[in-house]
Amino acid sequence: MNTRTDPRRSEPLTLFEKVWKQHEVVPQTADTPAILYIDLHLIHEVTSPQAFSLLRSLDLKLRRTDRTLATMDHSTPTDPDEISGRVPIKVESAARQLKQLEVNCREFGVNLRGLGSDQRGIVHVIGPELGATQPGKTIVCGDSHTATHGAFGALAFGIGTTEVGHVLATQCLLQRRPKTMAIEVSGRLGPGVTAKDLILAIIGRIGVSGGTGHVIEYRGTAIEALSMEERMTVCNMSIEAGARAGMIAPDDTTFAYLKGRQYAPTGAHWDAAVERWRALRTDPGALFDEIVHIDADSIAPMITYGTHPGMVVPIGAAVPQRPGDAAHAKSLAYMGLQEGEEIIGKAIQVVFLGSCTNGRLSDLKQAAQVLKGRKIAPGVRMLVVPGSQQVKREAEAIGLDRIFIEAGAEWREPGCSMCLGMNGDLVAKGDYAVSTSNRNFEGRQGPGARTLLASPATAAVAALTGRITDPREFLAGAAPAAH
């Protein structure tokens, strides 16, 4: 890890510094944080109820309804019968949260993508889909994985429930200015190696606190070669390295993704926006507080073995040995693994394909390429959960749902599902789940559940074999599932 500092920290500027500067209402001082203007506030049913209660208690109105976007995702069931209302929502606390969000949005004038909306989905999936996520914006949400939107060159980060109330009331936020970190990824990812493997490798390299206090800018040839959905996967997990946010400079790939979407500018406004967005790139000679170099060519498919995303190894490697490390030993005891044990070949019982990390169309295509014409292993349960109604429609239009169902998987309604155990989709105690989500904490997918984070390709191959398997063995001969 190289470190460079410049006490002047003036011009030229990094991408982060430009966006920060454009949104400073009041600069920070030694005694006070900056006041930052927020362009887009994303809300959902879990972290917003107390914030709306705060507005009521202080007799305050919501400052900018046009800059507030609401959806249902975290505690929302993915069972089609529950979503359609054919049966009651089984988790009572979830039903109450969903009802309260409807009440709050109606009372304060927020446009809600509710259960019946064809634009509903995981908050970090629908923001980009709608074109509400744009380069240069400040975006916040009461959710850790708001960093996803940094893939567009936005400064996006998660906030607490009290801060959700502040933004609802003022459209501003008190913030201390973070440091900057550049992660330069040279080369190209090899066949069967995905954006998920890349970000897991990065977290494995710098650790779960390696980005603490920083905003990361991902740069280099391997980053520039990624699609927008792949860039979202990378930025999504910035928080798992401890970073405040992750950003990627907007380019032609970004503009092509956004053009024509509902909230994207049109006509002359589009041309002006693109010119403005191009200027956001980090200036030549701009300095970062830290720089990390990663060689993409050296990365293999990755898989976690412990209880945080930094406990990760290449899929063919063994569980590391750390004599005397009590935390490591405790984590392995929870996971039922031994130091020196190979991960590959480990039997699994559940596969979860979905989440704001890997629940987009390209992720489903990647898994379907593996599963097409095959059956998942006996005794393995596989849930496929699209990230949004739009992803679901597009997947069904090209027959991906049939591929999953014929392979023996469950095709569900959009939502956060097994990413977190609060909506009824759970992994049983002691079971191993290969999951495309972003966190493998103890109990994250249910009490006693053992989570192994991996890419959609690795998850799909594990579903077929019933064991942890190198996806490159299958992808080499697999035909594309759909175009």
Domains, the chain, ranges and CATH?
A: 15-175 (3.30.499.10), 179-250+275-297 (3.40.1060.10), 304-472 (3.30.499.10)
Question: Does 172 carry a binding-site annotation?
Answer: no
Is 408 exposed, middle or buried (CB count within 10 Å of its CB: 0-12, 13-18, 19+)? middle
Under a CB-based contact definition with an 8 Å cutoff, are residues 455 and 194 in contact? yes
453 φψ region: left (φ > 0), alpha (ψ -120 to 50), beta (else):
beta
SS3 track for 292-322: EEEEHHHCCCEEECCCCCCCEEECCCECCCC
Which secondary structure element, helix H or strand E, spans residue 247, and what is its range?
Answer: strand 245-247
262 φψ region: left (φ > 0), alpha (ψ -120 to 50), beta (else):
alpha
The whole-angstrom separation of Cα 228 and Cα 152 is 8
Residues 6+ apart with CB under 8 A from 95: 88, 89
What is the pTM assigned to this prediction? 0.95
Do strands 381-384 and 350-353 pair parallel, antiparallel, or not at all (unpaired)? parallel
Under a CB-based contact definition with an 8 Å cutoff, are residues 147 and 159 in contact? no
Give the 3-state secondary structure of residue 475.
Answer: helix
Which secondary structure element, helix H or strand E, spans residue 215, and what is its range?
Answer: strand 214-219
Which secondary structure element, helix H or strand E, spans residue 128, and what is its range?
Answer: helix 123-130
Residues 6+ apart with CB under 8 A from 13: 21, 282, 283, 286
pLDDT by residue, tens only, the chain of 483 residues = 333 444 444 689 999 999 999 999 999 999 999 999 999 999 999 999 999 999 999 999 999 999 999 999 999 999 999 999 999 999 999 999 999 999 999 999 999 999 999 999 999 999 999 999 999 999 999 999 999 999 999 999 999 999 999 999 999 999 999 999 999 999 999 999 999 999 999 999 999 999 999 999 999 999 999 999 999 999 999 999 999 999 999 999 999 999 999 999 999 999 999 999 999 999 999 999 999 999 999 999 999 999 999 999 999 999 999 999 999 999 999 999 999 999 999 999 999 999 999 999 999 999 999 999 999 999 999 999 999 999 999 999 999 999 999 999 999 999 999 999 899 999 999 999 999 999 999 999 999 999 999 999 999 999 999 999 999 988 876 655 654
Which secondary structure element, helix H or strand E, spans residue 175, and what is its range?
Answer: strand 172-175
The whole-angstrom separation of Cα 165 and Cα 57 is 11
Give the 3-state secondary structure of residue 481.
Answer: coil
Residue with tokens 């990812």: 189
Question: Does 419 carry a binding-site annotation?
Answer: yes
